[in-house]
Amino acid sequence: MIELLNVRKVFNVGSPSEYSAINGINLHIGENKVAVLKGPSGCGKTTLLSIIACMSRPTAGRVKLNDREITSLPERFLTDIRRKTFGFIFQQPNLISGISVLENVMLPAYPLGEKRAHLKAKALNGLNELNLAPKAASKIEWLSGGEAQRVSIVRALINDPSIIIADEPTAHLDTKLSYRFMEIIEKFKAEGKTIIITSHDPLVYDSAMVDQVVNLRDGKIEE
């Protein structure tokens, strides 16, 4: 499903502060698999994830999605791929204060032009699945940390993405909520989704449901 061919990412090219974050990575992640990118801080996990998710372009090398080379596509096409293919879960929920939980969940779907009534029903169903339906009308600032993280998961699924991208999703969760998160990931996998997670949490990368662990150090894959 996802293939990286000799990918490099260099920041501040040509300046005294030039820095190579990713150094010649070759990687294949299959459909309906759970892959974890792990390694110490600064090893290139988040940079690699951003390239996989079409949020940044590699300096060199190629990226393929479903056998389609996407590296050189114009930004408008990459934006469309991000909206329709990927769902994003970050360390911080990145929810918008001052509006309701329901509105936060629906926001990523507005550009696709779906009818509001259908979108609202879909959002409420997603909230219900994670026991958040009673919070639909609540403002974000009224939620606990665990509730906000679950809302971000529902938001990530609103466009029914085939690939879930999660960047250190358990970093701010306690052990109980981390296990709950992994149960949700197992459900995603059962539904046929591909999940890519960056994590240095053994509860994540040692999980039996994980199909592939990619060890990174200094921007390279350790064998």
At 179-207, the pLDDT tens digits run 888 998 999 999 999 999 999 899 999 99
> Does residue 172 register a pLDDT over 80?
no
The Cα–Cα gap between 154 and 130 comes to 8
* Residue 129 confidence (pLDDT): 84
Mean of pLDDT over the chain: 92
Name the pLDDT band for 170 (thresholds 50, 70, 90).
confident
Global pTM value: 0.89
Q: Is the pLDDT of residue 127 over 80?
A: yes
Phi, psi of 163 (to 5 degrees): -125, 130
CATH class of 2-221: alpha beta
Q: Which of 83, 85, 62 is nearest to 73 (CA)?
A: 62
pLDDT of 31:
95
Q: How many CA within 13 A on the CB side of residue 138?
A: 15
Domain boundaries, the chain: 2-221
